[in-house]
Amino acid sequence: SRPSDDVTLEQLPLREDLRGRSPYGAPQLDVPVRLNTNENPYPPPPELVADVTEAVRAVAAELHRYPDRDAVRLREDLSAYLSVSTRVPLTERNLWAANGSNEILQQILQAFGGPGRSALGFEPSYSMHPIIAAGTRTDWVPAPRRADFTLDTVRAAEIVAERAPDVVFLTSPNNPTGGSIPIEDLEAVLRAAPGIVVVDEAYAEFSSQPSAVNLLDAYPAKLIVSRTMSKAFAFAGGRLGYLAAAPAVVDALQLVRLPYHLSVLTQAAARAALAHADQTLASVAKLAAERDRVAEALRGQGFAPVPSDANFILFGRFTDAPASWKSYVDNGVLIRDVGIEGHLRVTIGTPEENDAFLRASKEVPR
């Protein structure tokens, strides 16, 4: 082996607080049915592929220049989409975009968290929230959900008032459990929070609950709503996340964002994809109907699916969830072990993929 292969992680002068941590890691295995990362199973339609290709071809002639640092036209398009879908008037000054909503969340913690500050989340929830907190040296404060994974918002507001975190994460619909938080309940937490409240709405398009964007005017100095094109928009590979907030929040994030973080190619491709929003989002109703069908079928098989407003379902009970997860893989179906005892999470795929999953569910050990 080459000398560089012999150097171990332990030998590196890594930050002490990062030693012994594990990276985020959904396995990327090559199996026939992949229902593990909450992607949209429908590939982009040919017209969208053609428009993205043409948009990228057009900007390729400008690749020797840096991109628009402020991504203004993309933010205009995102504000138009969000204004129409939430019926809340927004402008590009309310919008900010980055390489996936993970980068949005990281920028939020860089600006509003950091050493000596804390962020609180209600677990189980999106596992990247504490990982991004660790990366930005923000103290992570885990708070509980009810045993049925719903959020007790009265208790949540009390905990937030008591712990006074600089940042609160509320995920609605929640990943990996699927339930969303009614808007009145969000407000209870917003009132109690002394600092920033991030409502992570990665799966909002799949939910029938109104968006927290409706609360921006009432809580402009507290509320940030984070969104993504990775799920409903079927643009996970394009890497485009965004947020809606008061323009001052966008000003704050400019202090930590890397210059030219969104490439010319990303901006052009995202704008071309956004122009097809109606077509792409037509899959949302299909996926929601499939989600309800899969939940019903799981119940029929004697499983207990957790009620979901998103494009995935957490379900149990398994005696040994990691062993059952492996058995699904052996049956050609990749789902997700999210580390919740007795439970696994399945992303809703095409009807054929869901049928394959349901067939495997009859085979796996409980």
CA distance 228 to 232: 8
Backbone angles phi, psi at 333, to 5 degrees: -125, 120
Q: Is the distance from CB of 183 to CB of 216 less than 8 angstroms?
A: no
Rule CB under 6 A: say whether 235 interacts with ligand PMP: no
Choose one: 64-72, 98-106, 283-291, 301-309; the region binding ligand PMP (CB under 6 A).
Answer: 98-106
- Can you tell me which of 36, 79, 86, 101 binds ligand PMP, judged by CB under 6 A? 101
Closest distance of CB 2 from ligand PMP, Å = 34
CA distance 207 to 210: 8
Rule CB under 6 A: say whether 107 interacts with ligand PMP: no
Complex with ligand PMP: residue 203 or 364, whichever CB lies closer = 203
Complex with ligand PMP: residue 153 or 180, whichever CB lies closer = 180
- Can you tell me which of 36, 40, 79, 102 binds ligand PMP, judged by CB under 6 A? 102
Binding-site string for ligand PMP from residue 161 to residue 200, where x marks contact by CB under 6 A and - marks none: ----------x---x------------------------x
Rule CB under 6 A: say whether 224 interacts with ligand PMP: no
Mention every residue, 6+ apart, whose C-beta is less than 8 A from residue 4: none
Shortest Cβ contact with ligand PMP: which residue? 100
Mention every residue, 6+ apart, whose C-beta is less than 8 A from residue 258: none
| Tokens describing residue 238 | 């394009």
- Can you tell me which of 100, 113, 114, 179 binds ligand PMP, judged by CB under 6 A? 100
CA distance 365 to 327: 7
Closest distance of CB 116 from ligand PMP, Å = 25
The one-letter amino acid at 99: N
Complex with ligand PMP: residue 331 or 343, whichever CB lies closer = 343
Rule CB under 6 A: say whether 233 interacts with ligand PMP: no
Rule CB under 6 A: say whether 122 interacts with ligand PMP: no
Half-sphere exposure for 250 (CA within 13 Å, toward CB): 18
| Segment 30 to 49, residues that bind ligand PMP, using CB under 6 A | 38
Mention every residue, 6+ apart, whose C-beta is less than 8 A from residue 84: none
Rule CB under 6 A: say whether 106 interacts with ligand PMP: no
Mention every residue, 6+ apart, whose C-beta is less than 8 A from residue 110: 136, 256
Question: Would you put residue 172 in left (φ > 0), alpha (ψ -120 to 50) or beta?
Answer: beta
- Can you tell me which of 86, 136, 138, 230 binds ligand PMP, judged by CB under 6 A? 230
- Residue 220 DSSP symbol: T
| # chain residues binding ligand PMP, by CB under 6 A | 13
CA distances from 252 to 82, 246, 255, 256, 271 (A): 21, 10, 6, 8, 24
- Enumerate binding residues for ligand PMP (CB under 6 A): 38, 100-102, 126, 171, 175, 200, 202, 228, 230, 236, 241
